[in-house]
Amino acid sequence: MKKIITALAITALFMACTNLSKGYEVKKQVGEYEVVAQIDRNPPIAGDNNLSIKIKDASGKYVTDANVMVNYVMPAMPGMPAMNYIAETTLSGEEYKTKMTLSMSGSWNIEIKITRQGKVETMKFTVDAK
């Protein structure tokens, strides 16, 4: 019985550590693109968070010729104006990367704007920074 409890405890610890190592991921179809956004922390934190974005076109090929901007906003609250930030991305291989500095914990609205061949598509999602 003691061995079973020890084995279960080790398994639970391993699964907890494995789960903590995964970042926050959002996958959405945005117009003709499949977009995967990954934040290196789950949950995201107040402070620096690395964001990577992968974009595939309708044929499944990675898009590497787009202009990708990230706009992250904390809506206004009583006694506090909205906070609005824009982050430019840099292309690294097949990923667009940037750093988001979430200035405080709470709900943040994130928009990833993809401009390619004169068309703009926007991926929207919300994170709760701790």
**Is position 18 within any domain?**
no
R_g of the chain computed on alpha carbons: 18
- According to the model, what pLDDT value does residue 11 have? 59
The structural domain count of the chain equals: 1
Q: Tokens for 82?
A: 């909205």
Q: CA torsion 61→43→69→99, rounded to 10°?
A: -110
**Is position 87 within any domain?**
yes
- According to the model, what pLDDT value does residue 21 have? 56
**Is position 3 within any domain?**
no
| DSSP state for residue 76 in the 8-state scheme | P
Residue type, 15: M
- According to the model, what pLDDT value does residue 18 have? 46
**Is position 9 within any domain?**
no
Which of 86, 96, 101, 102 has its CA nearest to residue 116?
96
Here the CATH number for the domain that contains residue 32 is 2.60.40.1930
- According to the model, what pLDDT value does residue 73 have? 98
Domain around 116: 23-129
Using CA atoms, how far apart are residues 64 and 97, in angstroms rounded to an integer?
A: 12
Q: What is the mean pLDDT of each run of 10 residues along the chain (130 residues)?
A: 59 52 92 98 98 98 98 95 98 98 97 98 98
